[in-house]
Amino acid sequence: MHAMLLALSLAASSGGGAFQVTSPEVQDQKPLREAQVYHGYGCKGGNASPALRWRFAPAGTKSFAVTVFDPDAPTGHGFWHWIVYDIPPSAEGLPAGVRADTLPAGAVQGRNDFGMSEYSGACPPPGDRPHRYVFTVYALRSERLGLSAGAAAQEIEARLEGNALAKATLTATYGR
């Protein structure tokens, strides 16, 4: 009951509906396009981040963060494909094909599980059932997470969860 009241109060404080994320390239519960697939390790995709748009952020949002996580990776703890944080509160999304020089001013990319500070697309092992790729946008109560560029995903995740006012997700799939 408490969770339902919290969700309703967050939706009401946003001046619209509940916090949400959309994308022209990623459809919820549908396969990723080849443009969002990794290029390497036998995958031949475009390795481009999709455009993301969010709206109805709750009152008090001071920054945003975006993550892409594969909970089905055979690592025992999933696999982080992208982390961007300290996105200014004026941002309403990210364009397709984000690079370090096209991020909003002040935004920082953390280190993903490929060891890179950039978007790295889907590339599950051949023969695995399709993996889920969870695109999450966080509305945060702090302006900055206080982490250096290239911080590890697990450290960033802990800060995100502790600062989240709201989260919105899209979950895509991909298999080969």
d(CA 119, CA 135) in angstroms, rounded, equals 12
Give the closest residue to 26 by CA, choosing from 15, 16, 12, 37: 37
Range of the domain at 166: 20-174
Q: Is 95 a domain residue?
A: yes
Residue-level pLDDT at 3: 38
Q: Is 24 a domain residue?
A: yes
Residue-level pLDDT at 18: 95
Q: Give the CATH number for residue 101.
A: 3.90.280.10
User: How many domains, the chain?
Assistant: 1
Q: Is 135 a domain residue?
A: yes
Q: Is 2 a domain residue?
A: no
Does the pLDDT at position 1 exceed 80? no
Condensed to tens digits (0 to 9), the pLDDT of residues 107-150 reads: 999 999 999 999 999 999 999 999 999 999 999 999 999 997 77
Q: Which two tokens stand for residue 20?
A: 């949400």
Q: Is 142 a domain residue?
A: yes
Condensed to tens digits (0 to 9), the pLDDT of residues 49-86 reads: 999 999 999 999 999 999 999 999 999 899 999 999 99
State whether the Cα torsion 15-17-171-50 is positive or negative. negative
The structure's pTM equals 0.89
Q: Is 11 a domain residue?
A: no
Give the closest residue to 108 by CA, choosing from 88, 132, 130: 88
Residue-level pLDDT at 120: 97
